[in-house]
A and B are shown apart, each in its own frame.
Chain A
């Protein structure tokens, strides 16, 4: 006679959910910065001047304040309770409160990147096997960004290099290749994240000028992603670095099919202008570009989401992200509810597991550890505008 124990299902060891965009707010960077930068950091923060676009209601969701009143996602224990455990997430990929913006002083940008990365590695990553980090880099100083990738890339819990979406020139151009060379060397992908479009030395957020308000700015963020992916493919970055993966975080998805079809059509006519491309542009995209889901498009007819996902080969190109704790975040169950089961699994964990090397279930133990809490004010003047 069988008992409940006999027929109990073996413990599920497969990774179910990887969240590819969680904005943890690391502590004050002062202890991690050389003394020479302390005053600037405390007075000017990221130092890119005025932010043109901010959510008038604030960027953080209103239900994610830690119990002690700190900034949302600044308390790792509460982040685990409020987000990781609530949604049974296996791994979270931390993307920090902000990317390194395009500021005028490359030395300062480089110092900020290194300080953030050291702080993340010391104060956050040791707390849980479920935590994984992004190496922030100052993309406008490519040799320095490459050096930072090599410095931090050997850390076992750092799973990608992360840079701001906008750039002085399209990211596929040769001056940025040292970044990709370093990433390939240490075996991690390179990601971009919005937020600094129009800030600091960045160009206007659109080729037609400055949008009037935050919503307009946010609506059109995909233009940056289209521009960068277009450049990366046409400049032959994926021919030169055939093992490189490029990740577009929080830039939308639906436009990818248009970009792929348009690029393929033009390539059939203008192939000789990029004679180094040996395949259709869309094939490079399918093999090398990954996008994250949030903010998930919500079509008038929900079933069209599945169609759109099929058009972009989402089983290979799309990874789930929540954007916790931001105002426009997505719930893993709700955002994907109109998709079929196999595709949902690929998006929730399959592709991200391959991209980040996270294919075994982690321990869910959390090691309580004192952390330095961020102060309000100068340490996060550009935090989380997206």
Chain B
């Protein structure tokens, strides 16, 4: 793995998500339940910049005609179509869908934020 320093935690206070670029790939860094997560800024559905989407909650699975709002701040809505992604797992919330966001390991060391990428081994 290669470690890339991409910003400071203070940057995340000013901009949430924090959009960074690593090896040409755009990545959105989010703070969810106090933890940092990093997702590639591409929607697996039609390829738009998913991190431009709204951070929201959702209606939780419920019985017919019952409504239960929850997971506030943990759901990303893609700006095109509105696919909902779980910011803690990257999973598309729709039953029957296996789509998910691509995750990057993220780490805070001191006040600095690091993204880990696979090291290209050549060949």
Contacts and interface: CB of A to CB of B under 8 A. Distances in A.
Interface of A: 174, 235-236, 239-240, 264, 267-273, 275-280, 283
Contacts of A283: 96
A174 B65 contact: yes
Contact of B82 (A240, A264, A270, A276): A270
Given A271-B94, A276-B61, 13 more contacts: A236-B65, A239-B64, A268-B94, A268-B97, A269-B83, A275-B60, A275-B66, A275-B67, A275-B68, A276-B65, A277-B95, A278-B95, A283-B96
Contact of A269 (B60, B66, B81): B81
B84 to A, nearest CB: 7
B95 A271 contact: yes
B70 to A, nearest CB: 10
B122 to A, nearest CB: 39
A270 B82 CA distance: 7
B22 to A, nearest CB: 29
16 contacts: A174-B65, A236-B64, A239-B63, A264-B96, A268-B45, A268-B97, A269-B82, A269-B83, A271-B94, A272-B93, A275-B58, A275-B59, A276-B63, A276-B64, A279-B95, A279-B96
A235 B64 contact: yes
A97 to B, nearest CB: 36
Contacts of A267: 94, 96
A271 B84 contact: yes
Given A174-B65, A235-B64, A236-B65, A272 B84 contact: yes
B62 A275 contact: yes
B40 interface: no
Contact of A278 (B45, B61, B65, B92): B61
A378 B96 CA distance: 53
A174 B96 CA distance: 26
Contacts of A240: 64
B58 to A, nearest CB: 5
A275 B94 CA distance: 10
Contacts of A273: 59
Given A269-B81, A269-B82, A275 B97 contact: no
A238 B108 CA distance: 48
Nearest to B78: A269
B94 to A, nearest CB: 4
A280 B95 CA distance: 6
Contact of B58 (A269, A272, A277, A280): A272
Shortest Cβ-Cβ A-B pairs, 4 listed: A236-B64, A280-B96, A275-B59, A269-B81
A276 B59 CA distance: 9
Nearest to A277: B95
Contacts of B62: 275-276
Contacts of B45: 268
Contacts of B67: 275
A239 B60 CA distance: 16
Contacts of B61: 275-276, 278
Nearest to A268: B94
A268 B66 contact: no
Interface in B76-123: 81-84, 92-97
A277 B65 CA distance: 11
A50 B94 CA distance: 47
B95 to A, nearest CB: 5
Contacts of B81: 268-269
Nearest to A281: B96
B75 to A, nearest CB: 9
Nearest to A238: B64
A49 B45 CA distance: 52
B59 A272 contact: yes
Nearest to A282: B96
A239 B58 CA distance: 20
A115 B103 CA distance: 66
B44 to A, nearest CB: 11
Contacts of A279: 95-96
Contacts of A174: 65
Contacts of A272: 58-59, 84, 93
Contacts of B63: 239, 276
Nearest to A177: B64
Contacts of A268: 45, 81, 83, 92, 94, 96-97
A276 B67 CA distance: 9
Nearest to A236: B64
Contacts of B84: 271-272
A277 B93 CA distance: 12
